[in-house]
């Protein structure tokens, strides 16, 4: 999902504007990734 935002940001005007629903979903997914990464970093390696 985030990949489409990457090219749209790089080439503005070629795609449709992001809706508030798409924004919220992208934000939710990004927060999940950050939360997962923080957990992985905090866990001690065995």
Domain that holds residue 13: 2-42
Q: What is the pLDDT of residue 10?
A: 74
pTM here?
0.62
Q: What is the pLDDT of residue 2?
A: 57
Q: Residue 6: which H helix or E strand, with range?
A: helix 2-10
CB atoms within 10 A of CB 18: 14
pLDDT tens track for 1-46: 557 667 766 777 777 788 999 899 989 999 999 999 999 998 777 6
**How far apart (Å, rounded) are the C-alpha atoms in residues 35 and 18?**
24
- Please count the structural domains in the chain: 1
| CA angle at 12 for the pair 9 and 13, rounded to the nearest 5° | 145
**How far apart (Å, rounded) are the C-alpha atoms in residues 43 and 41?**
6
């Amino acid at each position: 999902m985030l990949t489409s935002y990457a090219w749209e940001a790089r080439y503005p005007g070629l795609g449709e504007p992001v809706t508030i629903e798409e924004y919220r979903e992208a934000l939710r997914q990004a927060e999940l990734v950050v939360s997962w990464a923080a957990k992985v970093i905090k866990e001690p390696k065995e």
